Amino acid sequence: MKTLDAFLSTENSVLCIVAKTAGSCPGRVGFKMAVPPEGACHGSVGGGSMEYLVIAMAREMLKSGEKKPRMVSFDHKDSAEPEQRSGMICSGSQKIVLIPASPAKYEPEGKKGLVVDKNGLNLLDCSPANPGLNISDEFWKYTEELVPPLSVYIFGGGHCSLALTPVLNSLDLRVVIIDDREHVWTMAENMTAWKRTVKDYSTVSELVPDSGDALVVIMTASHRGDSTVLRQMLPKKLKYLGMMASRATSKYILDEMRSLGFSEENISSVHTPAGIPISSHTPAEIAVSIAAEIVMVLNSNQKNRSVRK
């Protein structure tokens, strides 16, 4: 969504979307990159020599004044036809749609679908019935469901929260910071957070939806704060629930949750100490560790959904 927002906010750029892949490829379907006439691009379609070619094509479209979207194919093999050769040898293939900026202005917030064909781009108020790329002899159309970024609720506005927020932002996650203290300088400095809230930890349950889409990281300034938040989060359906703590503190708090009647199934859902084990100590290292664990959980959920389909 951030790349789409960047494209829609400018009048002179090209939006590039990975529309189809087969085999081993850089980038997945839906990866996006906004290419301006010069300078840095926003987003990525997978990187490498293929992305370099896409950027060159997009800038040539801008230079020539091309107005209609086009679709290009790349074959990642040395044996590919010259016009489809990407310069990569990972053996897959992919199709990428390039869309010049449209004079029509769209507000992406609240839109549920995107559709592109030879005539241009449109945003939809409803989710498309059959997302993906459809091709015939004289026609192609790419449709995609637009899913709002997931929200990560971080309880605790300290140094680790300040380090973690930009990492999660780079993963296209919205970060909400909650702390029970007024005038915490690290929270005031956290300008990349989507929202910052000061609220007593005893009444924070209402801030986190019980829909199964929210992610929660608990890293308050005390084990009391951690415990108070955790007992409100445990009953909820969450994509991820992590608590930053030492192993001794984790055991103490989880034993307390058992004494409050929470089941082992509830308690086993808590990732604590939060993060993958990389012997992290500094806030920056802890941020990388926790972000990596969140990526692992999200990608595992995505894989499981694909298997069920």
Q: Which two tokens stand for residue 106?
A: 């769209």
What amino acid occupies position 211?
S
pLDDT of residue 86: 64
Closest CA to 214 of 168, 293, 274, 152: 152
How does pLDDT run across 155-209, given as a tens digit for each residue? 999 999 999 999 999 998 999 999 999 999 999 999 999 999 999 999 999 999 9
Q: What gap in Å lies between CA 217 and CA 242, rounded to an integer?
A: 5
Q: What gap in Å lies between CA 292 and CA 1, rounded to an integer?
A: 21
Strand 14-22 versus strand 32-35 pairing type: antiparallel
* Beta sheet of 215-218, edge-to-edge order: 195-198, 174-179, 151-155, 215-218, 240-243
Q: What is the largest CA-CA distance in the chain?
A: 70
Grade residue 4 by pLDDT with cuts at 50, 70 and 90.
confident
Grade residue 110 by pLDDT with cuts at 50, 70 and 90.
confident
What amino acid occupies position 164?
L
Q: Is the pLDDT of residue 308 over 90?
A: no
Average pLDDT, the chain: 89
Are 151 and 194 contacting, i.e. CB atoms less than 8 angstroms apart? yes
What is the SS3 assignment for 63-131? HHCCCCCEEEEEECCCCCCHHHECCCCCCCEEEEEEEECCCCCCCCCCCCEEEEECCEEEEECCCCCCC
Cis? peptide before 100, omega within 30° of 0: no
Q: Is the pLDDT of residue 126 over 70?
A: yes
Long-range residue pairs from 284-289, CB within 8 A, at least 24 positions apart, any chain: 284/163, 286/160, 286/163, 286/164, 286/244, 287/160, 287/163, 287/164, 287/167, 288/167
pLDDT mean over 273-300 = 96
Task: For the chain, give every domain's residue range.
Answer: 2-112, 151-303
What amino acid occupies position 130?
N
CB atoms within 10 A of CB 26: 22
Are 15 and 99 contacting, i.e. CB atoms less than 8 angstroms apart? yes
Grade residue 22 by pLDDT with cuts at 50, 70 and 90.
confident
Query: In the CATH scheme, what architecture does the domain 151-303 have?
Result: 3-Layer(aba) Sandwich (3.40)
Of 25-39, 47-61, 100-114, 272-286, where does mean pLDDT reach its minimum? 100-114
At residue 309's C-alpha, the angle toward residues 301 and 290, to 5°, is: 5
Which residues, in sequence order, are bridge partners of residue 71? 97
CB atoms within 10 A of CB 261: 7
